[in-house]
Amino acid sequence: MKNILIIGCGLLGSSLLRRIAKKRLAKKIFIYEKSKKNISKIKRLKLPGILIPNLKKGVENSNFIIFCTPMSEYKKIILKINKYLTSKHIITDLGSSKLKSLQVINKNLKKNIFWTSSHPIAGSEVSGPEYGKQNLFENKWCILIKDKRSNKKNLKFLSFFWKKIGSKTVIMNSVKHDKIFSITSHLPHLVAYNLVKSAQDFEKKQNYELLKYSAGGLRDFSRIAASNEIMWRDILFDNKKNVSKAIDLFIKNLNSFKKDLKSENHKSILKKLIQTKKVRSQIIKLKQDINRPDFGRD
Amino acid sequence: MKNILIIGCGLLGSSLLRRIAKKRLAKKIFIYEKSKKNISKIKRLKLPGILIPNLKKGVENSNFIIFCTPMSEYKKIILKINKYLTSKHIITDLGSSKLKSLQVINKNLKKNIFWTSSHPIAGSEVSGPEYGKQNLFENKWCILIKDKRSNKKNLKFLSFFWKKIGSKTVIMNSVKHDKIFSITSHLPHLVAYNLVKSAQDFEKKQNYELLKYSAGGLRDFSRIAASNEIMWRDILFDNKKNVSKAIDLFIKNLNSFKKDLKSENHKSILKKLIQTKKVRSQIIKLKQDINRPDFGRD
Protein backbone atom coordinates (compact mmCIF):
# COMPACT_ATOMS: atom_id res chain seq x y z
CA MET A 1 0.00 0.00 0.00
CA LYS A 2 1.23 3.45 -0.94
CA ASN A 3 1.58 6.76 0.75
CA ILE A 4 -0.21 9.17 -1.56
CA LEU A 5 0.39 12.87 -2.09
CA ILE A 6 -2.49 14.83 -3.59
CA ILE A 7 -1.37 18.18 -4.99
CA GLY A 8 -4.33 20.53 -5.33
CA CYS A 9 -7.46 19.73 -3.36
CA GLY A 10 -10.39 21.24 -5.25
CA LEU A 11 -13.33 19.35 -6.74
CA LEU A 12 -11.24 16.56 -8.28
CA GLY A 13 -8.51 16.29 -5.63
CA SER A 14 -10.99 16.22 -2.78
CA SER A 15 -13.14 13.63 -4.57
CA LEU A 16 -10.11 11.37 -4.95
CA LEU A 17 -9.18 12.03 -1.33
CA ARG A 18 -12.62 11.02 -0.11
CA ARG A 19 -12.60 7.86 -2.20
CA ILE A 20 -9.06 6.83 -1.24
CA ALA A 21 -9.90 7.29 2.43
CA LYS A 22 -13.24 5.50 2.18
CA LYS A 23 -11.77 2.49 0.40
CA ARG A 24 -8.59 2.58 2.50
CA LEU A 25 -6.40 2.63 -0.59
CA ALA A 26 -3.43 4.34 1.09
CA LYS A 27 -1.38 4.04 4.23
CA LYS A 28 -1.13 7.80 4.53
CA ILE A 29 -2.60 10.58 2.42
CA PHE A 30 -0.82 13.91 2.25
CA ILE A 31 -2.54 16.97 0.86
CA TYR A 32 -0.78 19.99 -0.56
CA GLU A 33 -3.06 22.93 -1.28
CA LYS A 34 -1.86 26.46 -1.92
CA SER A 35 -5.16 28.34 -1.58
CA LYS A 36 -5.77 29.52 1.99
CA LYS A 37 -9.50 29.56 1.30
CA ASN A 38 -9.45 25.90 0.28
CA ILE A 39 -7.26 24.98 3.26
CA SER A 40 -9.77 26.41 5.68
CA LYS A 41 -12.59 24.64 3.84
CA ILE A 42 -10.70 21.33 4.06
CA LYS A 43 -10.26 21.85 7.79
CA ARG A 44 -13.87 22.86 8.32
CA LEU A 45 -15.11 19.85 6.35
CA LYS A 46 -12.75 17.64 8.38
CA LEU A 47 -11.62 15.89 5.23
CA PRO A 48 -9.30 12.92 5.81
CA GLY A 49 -5.55 13.21 5.13
CA ILE A 50 -2.65 15.25 6.40
CA LEU A 51 -2.38 18.85 5.20
CA ILE A 52 1.27 19.68 4.61
CA PRO A 53 2.69 23.18 4.43
CA ASN A 54 5.39 22.41 1.85
CA LEU A 55 5.89 19.93 -0.95
CA LYS A 56 9.22 18.58 0.30
CA LYS A 57 7.67 16.60 3.13
CA GLY A 58 4.91 15.26 0.92
CA VAL A 59 7.20 14.08 -1.85
CA GLU A 60 9.77 12.52 0.46
CA ASN A 61 7.16 10.60 2.38
CA SER A 62 5.05 9.41 -0.58
CA ASN A 63 5.53 6.94 -3.39
CA PHE A 64 2.48 7.98 -5.40
CA ILE A 65 1.89 11.60 -6.40
CA ILE A 66 -1.30 12.87 -8.03
CA PHE A 67 -1.41 16.32 -9.62
CA CYS A 68 -4.95 17.69 -9.29
CA THR A 69 -4.17 21.35 -10.07
CA PRO A 70 -4.90 23.34 -13.23
CA MET A 71 -2.32 22.40 -15.89
CA SER A 72 -0.73 25.85 -15.82
CA GLU A 73 0.60 25.02 -12.33
CA TYR A 74 2.50 21.87 -13.34
CA LYS A 75 5.75 23.52 -14.38
CA LYS A 76 6.18 25.52 -11.19
CA ILE A 77 5.45 22.50 -9.00
CA ILE A 78 7.71 20.18 -10.97
CA LEU A 79 10.61 22.62 -10.66
CA LYS A 80 10.01 22.74 -6.91
CA ILE A 81 9.87 18.97 -6.35
CA ASN A 82 12.43 17.75 -8.90
CA LYS A 83 15.20 17.45 -6.33
CA TYR A 84 13.08 15.22 -4.05
CA LEU A 85 11.85 12.90 -6.79
CA THR A 86 13.25 9.41 -7.39
CA SER A 87 12.58 6.89 -10.16
CA LYS A 88 10.48 4.96 -7.68
CA HIS A 89 7.84 7.66 -7.52
CA ILE A 90 4.69 6.95 -9.45
CA ILE A 91 3.37 10.25 -10.73
CA THR A 92 0.12 11.05 -12.49
CA ASP A 93 -2.03 14.07 -13.24
CA LEU A 94 -5.68 14.58 -14.11
CA GLY A 95 -5.28 17.14 -16.91
CA SER A 96 -7.97 17.24 -19.61
CA SER A 97 -5.58 17.70 -22.51
CA LYS A 98 -2.28 15.96 -22.98
CA LEU A 99 -0.12 16.94 -25.95
CA LYS A 100 1.19 20.24 -24.70
CA SER A 101 1.03 19.49 -20.98
CA LEU A 102 3.18 16.38 -21.54
CA GLN A 103 5.66 18.51 -23.48
CA VAL A 104 5.92 20.85 -20.50
CA ILE A 105 6.30 17.89 -18.15
CA ASN A 106 8.95 16.28 -20.35
CA LYS A 107 10.89 19.47 -20.61
CA ASN A 108 10.91 20.26 -16.91
CA LEU A 109 10.80 16.93 -15.13
CA LYS A 110 14.19 15.60 -14.00
CA LYS A 111 15.71 12.78 -16.06
CA ASN A 112 14.82 9.16 -15.22
CA ILE A 113 11.58 10.10 -13.50
CA PHE A 114 8.39 8.48 -14.79
CA TRP A 115 5.09 10.24 -15.33
CA THR A 116 1.95 8.39 -16.38
CA SER A 117 -0.84 10.79 -17.20
CA SER A 118 -4.53 10.16 -16.40
CA HIS A 119 -7.71 11.81 -17.57
CA PRO A 120 -10.84 10.82 -15.68
CA ILE A 121 -13.94 11.91 -17.65
CA ALA A 122 -15.65 13.34 -14.63
CA GLY A 123 -16.22 16.79 -13.27
CA SER A 124 -18.84 19.39 -12.61
CA GLU A 125 -19.59 23.05 -13.14
CA VAL A 126 -18.88 23.71 -9.47
CA SER A 127 -15.37 24.05 -8.02
CA GLY A 128 -13.81 23.62 -4.61
CA PRO A 129 -13.34 20.89 -2.00
CA GLU A 130 -16.85 21.37 -0.63
CA TYR A 131 -18.31 19.91 -3.82
CA GLY A 132 -16.11 16.80 -3.98
CA LYS A 133 -17.86 13.41 -3.83
CA GLN A 134 -16.31 10.01 -3.21
CA ASN A 135 -18.31 8.56 -6.12
CA LEU A 136 -17.43 11.27 -8.68
CA PHE A 137 -15.37 8.81 -10.75
CA GLU A 138 -17.68 5.83 -10.37
CA ASN A 139 -18.41 4.09 -13.68
CA LYS A 140 -16.67 6.89 -15.55
CA TRP A 141 -13.96 6.35 -18.12
CA CYS A 142 -10.40 7.17 -17.13
CA ILE A 143 -7.94 7.52 -20.01
CA LEU A 144 -4.33 6.53 -19.28
CA ILE A 145 -1.67 7.96 -21.58
CA LYS A 146 1.11 5.82 -22.96
CA ASP A 147 4.08 7.99 -23.90
CA LYS A 148 7.83 8.19 -23.49
CA ARG A 149 7.68 9.16 -19.80
CA SER A 150 5.27 6.39 -18.85
CA ASN A 151 6.26 2.80 -18.25
CA LYS A 152 4.47 -0.54 -18.31
CA LYS A 153 4.65 -1.08 -14.58
CA ASN A 154 3.20 2.30 -13.73
CA LEU A 155 0.48 1.98 -16.37
CA LYS A 156 -0.46 -1.31 -14.76
CA PHE A 157 -0.50 0.23 -11.31
CA LEU A 158 -2.63 3.16 -12.47
CA SER A 159 -5.12 0.84 -14.18
CA PHE A 160 -5.42 -1.00 -10.89
CA PHE A 161 -5.69 2.25 -8.93
CA TRP A 162 -8.43 3.80 -11.10
CA LYS A 163 -10.43 0.58 -10.99
CA LYS A 164 -10.31 0.80 -7.21
CA ILE A 165 -11.56 4.38 -7.56
CA GLY A 166 -14.52 2.95 -9.48
CA SER A 167 -13.53 3.92 -13.04
CA LYS A 168 -13.20 1.99 -16.28
CA THR A 169 -9.77 2.47 -17.84
CA VAL A 170 -8.49 2.64 -21.39
CA ILE A 171 -4.97 3.31 -22.62
CA MET A 172 -4.22 5.56 -25.61
CA ASN A 173 -1.59 7.99 -26.84
CA SER A 174 -1.81 11.73 -26.34
CA VAL A 175 -2.39 12.49 -30.04
CA LYS A 176 -5.54 10.38 -30.19
CA HIS A 177 -6.64 11.60 -26.76
CA ASP A 178 -6.46 15.26 -27.68
CA LYS A 179 -8.31 14.73 -30.96
CA ILE A 180 -11.16 12.87 -29.28
CA PHE A 181 -11.61 15.38 -26.50
CA SER A 182 -11.35 18.40 -28.79
CA ILE A 183 -14.70 17.18 -30.15
CA THR A 184 -16.46 15.55 -27.21
CA SER A 185 -15.48 18.04 -24.54
CA HIS A 186 -13.43 21.09 -25.54
CA LEU A 187 -15.65 22.18 -28.44
CA PRO A 188 -18.87 21.74 -26.39
CA HIS A 189 -17.40 23.85 -23.61
CA LEU A 190 -16.27 26.70 -25.81
CA VAL A 191 -19.56 26.56 -27.69
CA ALA A 192 -21.42 26.89 -24.40
CA TYR A 193 -19.27 29.84 -23.37
CA ASN A 194 -19.83 31.55 -26.72
CA LEU A 195 -23.54 30.87 -26.75
CA VAL A 196 -23.94 32.49 -23.37
CA LYS A 197 -21.75 35.37 -24.54
CA SER A 198 -23.94 35.83 -27.62
CA ALA A 199 -26.99 36.05 -25.37
CA GLN A 200 -25.18 38.66 -23.26
CA ASP A 201 -24.23 40.65 -26.38
CA PHE A 202 -27.82 40.56 -27.58
CA GLU A 203 -29.17 41.60 -24.20
CA LYS A 204 -26.81 44.60 -24.05
CA LYS A 205 -28.43 45.95 -27.21
CA GLN A 206 -32.06 45.03 -26.54
CA ASN A 207 -32.50 44.71 -22.78
CA TYR A 208 -35.22 42.08 -23.11
CA GLU A 209 -34.61 40.24 -19.81
CA LEU A 210 -33.50 37.23 -21.83
CA LEU A 211 -32.45 35.13 -18.85
CA LYS A 212 -36.02 35.05 -17.54
CA TYR A 213 -36.80 32.94 -20.58
CA SER A 214 -33.73 30.73 -20.58
CA ALA A 215 -35.60 27.50 -19.77
CA GLY A 216 -36.16 26.96 -23.51
CA GLY A 217 -32.58 25.81 -24.08
CA LEU A 218 -30.02 28.37 -22.94
CA ARG A 219 -30.06 27.13 -19.34
CA ASP A 220 -28.54 23.78 -20.39
CA PHE A 221 -25.53 25.56 -21.87
CA SER A 222 -25.14 27.91 -18.93
CA ARG A 223 -24.25 24.94 -16.74
CA ILE A 224 -21.18 24.04 -18.79
CA ALA A 225 -20.34 27.72 -19.27
CA ALA A 226 -20.10 27.99 -15.48
CA SER A 227 -17.11 25.61 -15.34
CA ASN A 228 -13.85 26.68 -13.72
CA GLU A 229 -12.30 29.40 -15.87
CA ILE A 230 -8.63 28.73 -15.06
CA MET A 231 -8.95 25.04 -15.79
CA TRP A 232 -10.72 25.74 -19.08
CA ARG A 233 -8.38 28.49 -20.21
CA ASP A 234 -5.53 26.00 -19.72
CA ILE A 235 -7.30 23.20 -21.61
CA LEU A 236 -8.29 25.36 -24.59
CA PHE A 237 -4.79 26.81 -25.03
CA ASP A 238 -3.14 23.46 -24.40
CA ASN A 239 -5.14 21.82 -27.17
CA LYS A 240 -5.56 24.88 -29.36
CA LYS A 241 -4.61 23.26 -32.67
CA ASN A 242 -7.25 20.54 -32.43
CA VAL A 243 -9.72 22.95 -30.89
CA SER A 244 -9.30 25.41 -33.77
CA LYS A 245 -9.91 22.61 -36.26
CA ALA A 246 -13.03 21.60 -34.32
CA ILE A 247 -14.29 25.20 -34.43
CA ASP A 248 -13.77 25.23 -38.21
CA LEU A 249 -15.72 22.00 -38.70
CA PHE A 250 -18.50 23.32 -36.51
CA ILE A 251 -18.71 26.71 -38.27
CA LYS A 252 -18.84 24.87 -41.59
CA ASN A 253 -21.88 22.96 -40.37
CA LEU A 254 -23.51 26.12 -39.02
CA ASN A 255 -23.06 27.89 -42.36
CA SER A 256 -24.50 24.96 -44.25
CA PHE A 257 -27.48 24.92 -41.85
CA LYS A 258 -28.00 28.65 -42.39
CA LYS A 259 -27.88 28.15 -46.13
CA ASP A 260 -30.55 25.44 -45.90
CA LEU A 261 -32.74 27.81 -43.90
CA LYS A 262 -32.28 30.59 -46.43
CA SER A 263 -33.06 28.38 -49.42
CA GLU A 264 -36.08 26.84 -47.62
CA ASN A 265 -34.52 23.40 -47.92
CA HIS A 266 -36.93 21.69 -45.52
CA LYS A 267 -35.83 18.25 -46.58
CA SER A 268 -32.15 18.83 -45.82
CA ILE A 269 -32.85 20.37 -42.40
CA LEU A 270 -35.23 17.56 -41.47
CA LYS A 271 -32.63 15.00 -42.50
CA LYS A 272 -30.06 16.68 -40.29
CA LEU A 273 -32.40 16.83 -37.30
CA ILE A 274 -33.29 13.15 -37.66
CA GLN A 275 -29.66 12.13 -38.07
CA THR A 276 -28.47 13.93 -34.93
CA LYS A 277 -31.43 12.73 -32.88
CA LYS A 278 -30.15 9.16 -32.95
CA VAL A 279 -27.05 10.05 -30.97
CA ARG A 280 -28.93 10.59 -27.71
CA SER A 281 -30.08 6.98 -27.45
CA GLN A 282 -26.58 5.76 -28.31
CA ILE A 283 -25.11 7.90 -25.53
CA ILE A 284 -27.64 6.53 -23.06
CA LYS A 285 -26.97 2.97 -24.22
CA LEU A 286 -23.26 3.56 -23.63
CA LYS A 287 -24.21 4.73 -20.11
CA GLN A 288 -22.68 8.16 -20.69
CA ASP A 289 -25.85 9.88 -19.47
CA ILE A 290 -28.85 8.99 -17.38
CA ASN A 291 -31.92 7.54 -19.01
CA ARG A 292 -34.45 10.08 -17.79
CA PRO A 293 -36.03 12.92 -19.80
CA ASP A 294 -34.64 16.38 -19.06
CA PHE A 295 -31.72 14.83 -17.08
CA GLY A 296 -34.41 13.94 -14.52
CA ARG A 297 -34.16 17.46 -13.21
CA ASP A 298 -37.83 18.29 -12.74
CA MET B 1 -66.61 26.47 -17.12
CA LYS B 2 -65.63 25.63 -20.67
CA ASN B 3 -65.72 22.63 -22.88
CA ILE B 4 -62.21 22.30 -24.17
CA LEU B 5 -60.96 20.82 -27.43
CA ILE B 6 -57.33 19.77 -27.50
CA ILE B 7 -56.03 19.31 -31.04
CA GLY B 8 -52.91 17.16 -31.05
CA CYS B 9 -52.24 15.03 -28.01
CA GLY B 10 -48.47 14.48 -27.81
CA LEU B 11 -46.19 15.59 -25.00
CA LEU B 12 -47.69 19.07 -24.64
CA GLY B 13 -51.31 18.27 -25.41
CA SER B 14 -51.41 15.30 -23.07
CA SER B 15 -49.72 17.31 -20.31
CA LEU B 16 -52.40 19.98 -20.60
CA LEU B 17 -55.05 17.27 -20.71
CA ARG B 18 -53.77 15.68 -17.52
CA ARG B 19 -53.62 19.02 -15.73
CA ILE B 20 -57.06 20.19 -16.90
CA ALA B 21 -58.59 16.92 -15.75
CA LYS B 22 -56.74 16.90 -12.43
CA LYS B 23 -57.74 20.47 -11.57
CA ARG B 24 -61.24 20.03 -13.05
CA LEU B 25 -60.83 23.07 -15.27
CA ALA B 26 -63.33 21.93 -17.92
CA LYS B 27 -66.82 20.54 -18.12
CA LYS B 28 -65.82 18.27 -20.98
CA ILE B 29 -62.48 17.70 -22.70
CA PHE B 30 -62.42 16.58 -26.31
CA ILE B 31 -59.25 15.25 -27.88
CA TYR B 32 -58.52 15.23 -31.57
CA GLU B 33 -55.45 13.27 -32.54
CA LYS B 34 -54.62 12.16 -36.06
CA SER B 35 -51.84 9.66 -35.32
CA LYS B 36 -53.18 6.14 -34.87
CA LYS B 37 -50.14 5.27 -32.78
CA ASN B 38 -50.88 8.11 -30.38
CA ILE B 39 -54.58 7.23 -30.25
CA SER B 40 -53.82 3.71 -29.11
CA LYS B 41 -51.34 5.06 -26.55
CA ILE B 42 -53.98 7.46 -25.20
CA LYS B 43 -56.42 4.57 -24.86
CA ARG B 44 -53.87 2.29 -23.26
CA LEU B 45 -52.87 5.00 -20.79
CA LYS B 46 -56.57 5.62 -20.05
CA LEU B 47 -56.03 9.36 -20.31
CA PRO B 48 -59.08 11.44 -19.38
CA GLY B 49 -61.18 13.14 -22.08
CA ILE B 50 -63.25 12.10 -25.06
CA LEU B 51 -61.38 11.03 -28.20
CA ILE B 52 -63.28 12.33 -31.23
CA PRO B 53 -62.88 10.99 -34.76
CA ASN B 54 -63.47 14.32 -36.53
CA LEU B 55 -62.97 17.98 -35.74
CA LYS B 56 -66.58 19.04 -36.44
CA LYS B 57 -67.96 17.51 -33.27
CA GLY B 58 -65.12 18.90 -31.17
CA VAL B 59 -65.43 22.45 -32.46
CA GLU B 60 -69.23 22.56 -32.26
CA ASN B 61 -69.26 21.28 -28.71
CA SER B 62 -66.38 23.36 -27.33
CA ASN B 63 -65.87 27.01 -26.56
CA PHE B 64 -62.12 26.80 -25.96
CA ILE B 65 -59.79 25.26 -28.55
CA ILE B 66 -56.10 24.58 -27.96
CA PHE B 67 -53.79 23.76 -30.88
CA CYS B 68 -51.04 21.47 -29.62
CA THR B 69 -49.78 20.25 -33.02
CA PRO B 70 -46.60 21.18 -34.88
CA MET B 71 -47.08 24.60 -36.48
CA SER B 72 -46.99 23.18 -40.00
CA GLU B 73 -50.38 21.56 -39.27
CA TYR B 74 -52.22 24.79 -38.39
CA LYS B 75 -53.27 25.80 -41.89
CA LYS B 76 -54.80 22.45 -42.78
CA ILE B 77 -56.75 22.29 -39.52
CA ILE B 78 -57.95 25.89 -39.73
CA LEU B 79 -59.28 25.32 -43.23
CA LYS B 80 -61.15 22.26 -41.95
CA ILE B 81 -62.74 23.94 -38.94
CA ASN B 82 -63.38 27.45 -40.29
CA LYS B 83 -67.04 26.73 -41.07
CA TYR B 84 -67.77 25.56 -37.52
CA LEU B 85 -66.04 28.46 -35.77
CA THR B 86 -67.89 31.39 -34.21
CA SER B 87 -66.60 34.62 -32.67
CA LYS B 88 -67.37 33.12 -29.26
CA HIS B 89 -64.67 30.49 -29.61
CA ILE B 90 -61.53 31.18 -27.66
CA ILE B 91 -58.63 29.76 -29.63
CA THR B 92 -54.99 29.43 -28.68
CA ASP B 93 -51.94 27.49 -29.79
CA LEU B 94 -48.66 26.52 -28.15
CA GLY B 95 -46.30 27.30 -31.03
CA SER B 96 -42.72 28.24 -30.17
CA SER B 97 -42.41 31.01 -32.75
CA LYS B 98 -45.04 33.53 -33.61
CA LEU B 99 -44.36 35.94 -36.46
CA LYS B 100 -44.86 33.63 -39.39
CA SER B 101 -47.32 31.24 -37.75
CA LEU B 102 -49.58 34.20 -36.93
CA GLN B 103 -49.35 35.33 -40.55
CA VAL B 104 -50.53 31.89 -41.65
CA ILE B 105 -53.32 31.98 -39.07
CA ASN B 106 -54.39 35.47 -40.10
CA LYS B 107 -54.42 34.57 -43.72
CA ASN B 108 -56.44 31.38 -43.33
CA LEU B 109 -58.69 31.93 -40.33
CA LYS B 110 -62.21 33.09 -41.12
CA LYS B 111 -63.01 36.76 -40.51
CA ASN B 112 -64.23 37.88 -37.07
CA ILE B 113 -62.69 34.89 -35.31
CA PHE B 114 -60.24 35.60 -32.49
CA TRP B 115 -56.97 33.81 -31.91
CA THR B 116 -54.81 34.47 -28.89
CA SER B 117 -51.50 32.72 -29.15
CA SER B 118 -49.64 31.15 -26.19
CA HIS B 119 -46.10 29.91 -25.77
CA PRO B 120 -45.45 27.95 -22.60
CA ILE B 121 -41.68 27.67 -22.01
CA ALA B 122 -41.84 23.98 -21.22
CA GLY B 123 -41.04 20.81 -23.04
CA SER B 124 -38.67 17.92 -23.18
CA GLU B 125 -36.51 15.96 -25.58
CA VAL B 126 -39.05 13.13 -25.52
CA SER B 127 -42.26 13.15 -27.54
CA GLY B 128 -45.62 11.44 -27.29
CA PRO B 129 -48.56 11.22 -24.87
CA GLU B 130 -46.79 8.67 -22.70
CA TYR B 131 -44.31 11.33 -21.57
CA GLY B 132 -46.86 14.01 -20.66
CA LYS B 133 -46.96 15.17 -17.04
CA GLN B 134 -49.64 17.19 -15.30
CA ASN B 135 -46.97 19.45 -13.77
CA LEU B 136 -45.03 20.12 -17.00
CA PHE B 137 -46.04 23.79 -16.99
CA GLU B 138 -45.76 24.37 -13.26
CA ASN B 139 -43.81 27.54 -12.40
CA LYS B 140 -42.88 27.95 -16.06
CA TRP B 141 -43.38 31.15 -18.01
CA CYS B 142 -46.17 31.24 -20.55
CA ILE B 143 -45.98 34.06 -23.10
CA LEU B 144 -49.30 35.41 -24.40
CA ILE B 145 -49.22 37.24 -27.71
CA LYS B 146 -51.07 40.50 -28.21
CA ASP B 147 -51.76 41.05 -31.88
CA LYS B 148 -54.57 41.99 -34.25
CA ARG B 149 -56.39 38.67 -33.90
CA SER B 150 -56.30 38.65 -30.10
CA ASN B 151 -58.65 40.63 -27.89
CA LYS B 152 -58.57 41.90 -24.33
CA LYS B 153 -61.22 39.53 -23.05
CA ASN B 154 -59.52 36.44 -24.42
CA LEU B 155 -56.10 37.57 -23.22
CA LYS B 156 -57.61 37.93 -19.77
CA PHE B 157 -59.19 34.49 -19.97
CA LEU B 158 -55.92 32.90 -21.14
CA SER B 159 -53.96 34.58 -18.35
CA PHE B 160 -56.44 33.09 -15.91
CA PHE B 161 -56.32 29.70 -17.61
CA TRP B 162 -52.50 29.43 -17.65
CA LYS B 163 -52.33 30.43 -14.02
CA LYS B 164 -54.67 27.55 -13.24
CA ILE B 165 -52.29 25.34 -15.22
CA GLY B 166 -49.55 26.50 -12.84
CA SER B 167 -47.68 28.93 -15.12
CA LYS B 168 -46.61 32.54 -14.75
CA THR B 169 -47.85 34.68 -17.64
CA VAL B 170 -46.48 37.67 -19.50
CA ILE B 171 -47.94 39.47 -22.51
CA MET B 172 -45.80 40.66 -25.42
CA ASN B 173 -46.01 41.15 -29.17
CA SER B 174 -44.82 38.58 -31.67
CA VAL B 175 -41.84 40.67 -32.86
CA LYS B 176 -40.31 40.84 -29.38
CA HIS B 177 -41.23 37.22 -28.69
CA ASP B 178 -39.48 35.89 -31.77
CA LYS B 179 -36.35 37.93 -31.10
CA ILE B 180 -36.06 36.72 -27.51
CA PHE B 181 -36.56 33.07 -28.35
CA SER B 182 -34.24 33.14 -31.35
CA ILE B 183 -31.50 33.64 -28.75
CA THR B 184 -32.68 31.74 -25.67
CA SER B 185 -34.12 28.71 -27.42
CA HIS B 186 -33.82 28.46 -31.21
CA LEU B 187 -30.09 29.18 -31.40
CA PRO B 188 -29.27 26.74 -28.54
CA HIS B 189 -31.25 24.02 -30.29
CA LEU B 190 -29.65 24.45 -33.68
CA VAL B 191 -26.23 24.73 -32.04
CA ALA B 192 -26.86 21.44 -30.26
CA TYR B 193 -27.93 19.77 -33.51
CA ASN B 194 -24.85 21.08 -35.30
CA LEU B 195 -22.49 20.16 -32.51
CA VAL B 196 -23.71 16.58 -32.57
CA LYS B 197 -23.48 16.61 -36.36
CA SER B 198 -19.87 17.84 -36.16
CA ALA B 199 -19.07 14.94 -33.85
CA GLN B 200 -20.68 12.57 -36.33
CA ASP B 201 -18.70 14.08 -39.22
CA PHE B 202 -15.48 13.74 -37.25
CA GLU B 203 -16.26 10.14 -36.29
CA LYS B 204 -16.89 9.19 -39.92
CA LYS B 205 -13.33 10.19 -40.74
CA GLN B 206 -11.55 8.88 -37.64
CA ASN B 207 -13.67 6.12 -36.13
CA TYR B 208 -12.53 6.89 -32.59
CA GLU B 209 -15.67 5.71 -30.73
CA LEU B 210 -16.28 9.31 -29.73
CA LEU B 211 -19.61 8.66 -28.04
CA LYS B 212 -17.96 6.47 -25.43
CA TYR B 213 -16.30 9.63 -24.19
CA SER B 214 -19.25 11.98 -24.47
CA ALA B 215 -19.62 12.54 -20.71
CA GLY B 216 -17.12 15.41 -20.95
CA GLY B 217 -19.67 17.79 -22.47
CA LEU B 218 -21.23 16.41 -25.63
CA ARG B 219 -23.88 14.43 -23.75
CA ASP B 220 -25.50 17.66 -22.51
CA PHE B 221 -26.02 18.83 -26.07
CA SER B 222 -27.27 15.46 -27.25
CA ARG B 223 -30.33 15.86 -25.04
CA ILE B 224 -31.53 18.99 -26.82
CA ALA B 225 -30.48 17.56 -30.18
CA ALA B 226 -32.92 14.70 -29.53
CA SER B 227 -35.94 17.03 -29.58
CA ASN B 228 -38.83 16.40 -31.96
CA GLU B 229 -37.60 17.01 -35.49
CA ILE B 230 -40.90 18.12 -37.05
CA MET B 231 -41.57 20.64 -34.32
CA TRP B 232 -38.05 22.03 -34.61
CA ARG B 233 -37.97 22.15 -38.39
CA ASP B 234 -41.17 24.24 -38.19
CA ILE B 235 -39.77 26.57 -35.53
CA LEU B 236 -36.47 27.20 -37.29
CA PHE B 237 -38.10 27.96 -40.64
CA ASP B 238 -40.86 30.01 -39.03
CA ASN B 239 -38.33 32.26 -37.31
CA LYS B 240 -35.57 31.98 -39.88
CA LYS B 241 -34.77 35.69 -40.12
CA ASN B 242 -34.07 36.10 -36.43
CA VAL B 243 -32.43 32.69 -36.29
CA SER B 244 -30.05 33.59 -39.12
CA LYS B 245 -29.08 36.80 -37.33
CA ALA B 246 -28.49 34.81 -34.15
CA ILE B 247 -26.24 32.40 -36.07
CA ASP B 248 -24.24 35.37 -37.40
CA LEU B 249 -23.75 36.86 -33.94
CA PHE B 250 -22.69 33.47 -32.62
CA ILE B 251 -20.23 32.77 -35.46
CA LYS B 252 -18.75 36.23 -34.91
CA ASN B 253 -18.07 35.31 -31.28
CA LEU B 254 -16.64 31.92 -32.27
CA ASN B 255 -14.24 33.55 -34.73
CA SER B 256 -13.12 36.09 -32.17
CA PHE B 257 -12.55 33.26 -29.67
CA LYS B 258 -10.50 31.36 -32.23
CA LYS B 259 -8.45 34.47 -32.93
CA ASP B 260 -7.72 34.85 -29.21
CA LEU B 261 -6.57 31.23 -29.08
CA LYS B 262 -4.30 31.70 -32.08
CA SER B 263 -2.70 34.87 -30.77
CA GLU B 264 -2.28 33.34 -27.29
CA ASN B 265 -4.44 36.07 -25.79
CA HIS B 266 -4.86 34.40 -22.40
CA LYS B 267 -6.21 37.55 -20.82
CA SER B 268 -9.04 37.97 -23.32
CA ILE B 269 -10.11 34.31 -23.11
CA LEU B 270 -10.04 34.37 -19.32
CA LYS B 271 -12.16 37.54 -19.30
CA LYS B 272 -14.72 35.86 -21.56
CA LEU B 273 -14.87 32.72 -19.42
CA ILE B 274 -15.34 34.75 -16.25
CA GLN B 275 -18.00 36.94 -17.85
CA THR B 276 -20.12 34.03 -19.09
CA LYS B 277 -19.75 32.12 -15.84
CA LYS B 278 -21.90 34.65 -14.00
CA VAL B 279 -24.96 33.81 -16.05
CA ARG B 280 -25.47 30.42 -14.42
CA SER B 281 -26.13 31.85 -10.97
CA GLN B 282 -28.49 34.44 -12.47
CA ILE B 283 -30.46 31.71 -14.22
CA ILE B 284 -30.71 29.75 -10.99
CA LYS B 285 -31.74 32.87 -9.07
CA LEU B 286 -34.49 33.44 -11.64
CA LYS B 287 -35.59 29.84 -11.00
CA GLN B 288 -35.08 28.88 -14.63
CA ASP B 289 -32.99 25.85 -13.62
CA ILE B 290 -32.51 23.69 -10.56
CA ASN B 291 -29.87 24.64 -8.02
CA ARG B 292 -27.93 21.37 -8.01
CA PRO B 293 -24.57 20.68 -9.66
CA ASP B 294 -24.75 18.66 -12.86
CA PHE B 295 -28.57 19.13 -13.00
CA GLY B 296 -28.60 16.77 -10.01
CA ARG B 297 -28.29 13.88 -12.42
CA ASP B 298 -25.72 11.75 -10.66
The pTM for the full model equals 0.95
pLDDT tens-digit readout, B66-115: 999 999 999 999 999 999 999 999 999 999 999 999 999 999 999 999 99
pLDDT tens-digit readout, A102-124: 999 999 999 999 999 999 999 99
Write the residue in A230, A236, A298 that is nearest to B261 by C-beta: A236
Write the residue in B208, B270, B297 that is nearest to A296 by C-beta: B297
Residue B290: count of CB within 10 angstroms of its CB: 14
pLDDT tens-digit readout, A219-271: 999 999 999 999 999 999 999 999 999 999 999 999 999 999 999 999 999 99
CA distance A94 to chain B (A): 13
pLDDT, residue A1, reads 79
pLDDT at A298 over 70: no
Q: How confident is the model at residue A297 (pLDDT cuts 50, 70, 90)?
A: confident
pLDDT, residue A87, reads 96
Give the pLDDT mean for B151-159.
97
Look at A221 and B225 and tell me if their CB atoms are within 8 Å.
Answer: no
| Domain A176-296 bears CATH identifier 3.40.50.1820 | no
pLDDT, residue B1, reads 79
Q: Which residue of B has its CA nearest to A225?
A: B277
- Domain map of chain B by residue range? 2-172, 176-296
| DSSP states of B204-250 | HHH---GGGGGGGTHHHHHHHTTS-HHHHHHHHHHTHHHHHHHHHHH
Look at B261 and A275 and tell me if their CB atoms are within 8 Å.
Answer: no
Give the pLDDT mean for B263-268.
97
pLDDT tens-digit readout, B111-145: 999 999 999 999 999 999 999 999 999 999 999 99
pLDDT at B35 over 70: yes
Q: How confident is the model at residue B296 (pLDDT cuts 50, 70, 90)?
A: confident
Give the pLDDT mean for A15-38.
98
pLDDT, residue B298, reads 66
pLDDT at A296 over 90: no
pLDDT at B292 over 80: yes
Give the pLDDT mean for A274-287.
93
pLDDT tens-digit readout, B163-197: 999 999 999 999 999 999 999 999 999 999 999 99
pLDDT at A17 over 70: yes
Q: How confident is the model at residue B257 (pLDDT cuts 50, 70, 90)?
A: very high
Look at B208 and A179 and tell me if their CB atoms are within 8 Å.
Answer: yes
Top CATH class of A2-172 equals alpha beta
Give the pLDDT mean for A198-225.
94
Write the residue in B222, B269, B281 that is nearest to A280 by C-beta: B222
Chain B residue numbers with beta carbons less than 8 Å from the beta carbon of A237 are 261, 264, 266, 269
Look at B206 and A179 and tell me if their CB atoms are within 8 Å.
Answer: yes
Give the pLDDT mean for B270-293.
93
Distance CA B99, CA B105 (A): 10
Tell me, what DSSP letter sits at residue B7?
Answer: E
